[in-house]
Structure 1
Amino acid sequence: MTDENSFPDDLLQLQERLHRAHAEHRAYLAGLPWSVEPMKGWVRGERFSHRGDVPDSPGWSEEQRDTVDRMWAKIRELSIAVVDHPYWASVPRESVVSARMQLKKQARPAPANEMAEAA
């Protein structure tokens, strides 16, 4: 098992940036229409819907599509940087998965409400 303090600072920073990029992407998607393409909605009973009635979706604008594409590109770039970091060559092969999970936990940013309480 990897020692908690053994991750290089640059790897911890990359992983934290990756966590933040995922969080920003999820938050952005939550504010977009439910369908990428314009689509007619439906009322409960016409189709199965755990949300009840579903309104028409105007679809995403070109700007929204471009923003999502840029966000995904950033997530891919950060993911590759984390996975290809030279540190992983020093970790025994049988320990890489557990070390990767530890890095994810250790580098996870504090939720906004916890950061506000600490200030």
Structure 2
Amino acid sequence: MSTPAPAAEDKPFKAKDFPKDLLAAQRKLVELYAALHAHQARLPWSREANDGWPDEPERWHRRGRPATTGWEAADAETYDRLWEDLRKAAEAVQGDEHWRLCKQHGVEGADLVAARQALKQAEGAVPAPKKDEPALDQDDVERAA
């Protein structure tokens, strides 16, 4: 005779057993960060038109910048939308019910930090690369989280 499986409330709580909605929210956050990063990489260095400035060799931290006409209106709109979407995604991850449950079960301090860090690398939290696209590297994941 077999013993029935324990009910969900009888299972011990594990902070690193992330719910599917939290994994999906983290994946969306990483995807948005990657999209914003890729968008920024192709934009001029200044949002507004700027005459730039020459290098100042005696001040190593003051490198020169070329003149720029700034961003196109559509690029600025895309940037602003991506940033807003990224903020909302970060709020969804940080405010997820799972973190309240962690605290409720005594997971706090360094253990809570470790659980939050583990989410960044959990299976399903980082999107698989699409064909002919480079995979996100760990720096992208860390900055997104």
Matching residue of 1:105? 121
| Residue 29 (structure 1) aligned to one of 31, 34, 40 | 40
Partner of 2:141: none
- Tell me the residue number matched to 1:76: 87
Which whole-Å deviations, capped at 9, do the CAs of 1:6-59 have from their partners, x for residues lacking one? 11111111101101100110110010011111001233348731xxx6321111
| TM-score (normalised: structure 1) | 0.78
Q: Which has the higher helix share?
A: 1
Structure of greater Rg: 2
Q: Distance in 2 between matches of 1:86 and 1:34?
A: 39
1:54 is aligned to: 65
> How big is the alpha-carbon RMSD for the aligned residues of Structure 1 and Structure 2?
2.3
C-alpha change, 1:114 and 1:32, in structure 2 (3 Å) is closer
Q: Which runs of 5+ in 1 are unaligned?
A: none
**Structure 2 unaligned spans of 5+:** 1-13, 137-145
Give TM-score, length-normalised by structure 2: 0.66
Count of aligned pairs: 110
Identity %: 35
Say which SS state the counterpart of residue 20 (structure 1) adopts: helix
CA distance in 2, matches of 1:26, 1:78: 15
